[in-house]
Amino acid sequence: IKRKCLPGYVLLVTKGAVRPVISLQPNWSPVLYGDTVTLSCNVAPTAQGNLGYSWYRDGYQISGDQQSLVIQSARETDSGDYQCQKSLIAFYPSTLCYTVSFISGWLVLQAPPAVHEGDSLSLRCHSDNDGRNITFYKDNKAIQLAVTGSALQIGIVNVKASGIYRCEKQIYSHYGYRMVTATETVAVSGMINWEQMLHSLVLVVVFIVYVCECIDW
């Protein structure tokens, strides 16, 4: 009996790093001029540690080496596409761009940055003072729901909740109360968001190893 080695291949599959995800607190968009918000760089548990973080706006690195980036007294110049990355790990991927808009004015209608079917949707008619007599509209029709403070709780939504929303609010100025309006487009995504799923998939690296298989002949 003789032994003969034949060439063969083995696939070794290893998991790559999962992209970090940025979250915003308070979870309202757009952000009113002068407000304070916090961006958090959420990474997989396996990537946790004592290493620092790097933050970028519109592709340029900005100050900040912690997991959270606090933007105080926001200005319009703070608007942009934000990214974060675990420092000192060259191969660790950065986040997808997270767009934050800061606007000036008397009033802003705020919604969560992303809304999906099955989410509970709230809207906020936000100003730098409390104001009074708030009314919400969807596609120019008044929404007959109770308003708590400056917020409207719509509840669980589906794609039919997408539309152009508007709020009216009387805001006090030096000349007394004046009616101010703000609008915001809300797009409710379907249950399956394939783009997000693809971006969150674990990167897979395949190595081909040359081996010999011995047989008797």
Over residues 87-114, the mean pLDDT reads: 76
27 and 96 part of one domain: yes
- Give the per-residue pLDDT at 167: 95
62 close to 32: Cβ distance less than 8 angstroms: no
Q: How much is the pLDDT for 93?
A: 56
Q: Please report the DSSP string for 39-82 in residue order.
A: EEEE--GGG-SS--EEEEETTEEES--SSEEEE-S--GGG-EEE
- Give mean pLDDT, residues 155-174: 93
User: With contact defined as beta carbons under 8 Å apart, do 117 and 158 qualify?
Assistant: yes
Position 14 in a domain: no
- Are residues 114 and 99 part of one domain? no
Give the structural domain span for 39.
19-104
Q: Residues 7-16: what's their mean pLDDT?
A: 40
Which CATH number does the domain housing residue 119 bear? Answer: 2.60.40.10
User: Does residue 115 share a domain with residue 90?
Assistant: no
pLDDT band at 3 (very low <50, low <70, confident <90, very high): very low
Q: What distance in Å separates the CA atoms of residue 214 and residue 204, rounded to the nearest whole number?
A: 30
CB atoms within 10 A of CB 178: 12
Q: Is the pLDDT of residue 97 over 50?
A: yes
pLDDT of 207:
34
Percent of the chain whose pLDDT exceeds 90: 44
Q: How far apart are CA 151 and CA 130, in angstroms?
A: 11
Domain boundary among 104, 131, 158: 104
pLDDT tens for each residue of 170-203? 998 888 888 999 999 999 998 654 455 444 444 3
Q: What is the pLDDT of residue 31?
A: 92
Integer angstrom CA distances of residue 17 from 22, 61, 115, 199, 211: 16, 21, 26, 12, 28
**Distances 124 to 111, 142, 184 between C-alpha atoms, Å:** 7, 15, 11
Asked whether residue 92 falls in the same domain as residue 111, the answer is no
Domain match, 146 and 162 both: yes
**pLDDT at residue 9 in the model:** 38
Q: Which of 22-26, 53-57, 97-101, 123-127 has the lowest mean pLDDT?
A: 97-101
Q: List pLDDT tens digits, range 122-143.
A: 999 999 887 889 999 999 999 9
Residue 48 makes CB contacts below 8 A (sequence gap 6+) with: none
d(CA 29, CA 101): 7
pTM over 0.85: no
Q: Where are the extended beta strands (E) located within 58-144? A: 60-62, 68-71, 80-86, 98-100, 102-103, 107-110, 115-116, 120-127, 132-138, 141-142
93 and 113 fall within a common domain: no
Please count the structural domains in the chain.
Answer: 2
Higher-pLDDT residue of 194 and 57 is 57
- pLDDT at site 76: 86
Confidence of residue 115 (pLDDT cuts 50, 70, 90): very high
Residue 140 shares a structural domain with residue 62: no
Do residue 91 and residue 30 come from a single domain? yes
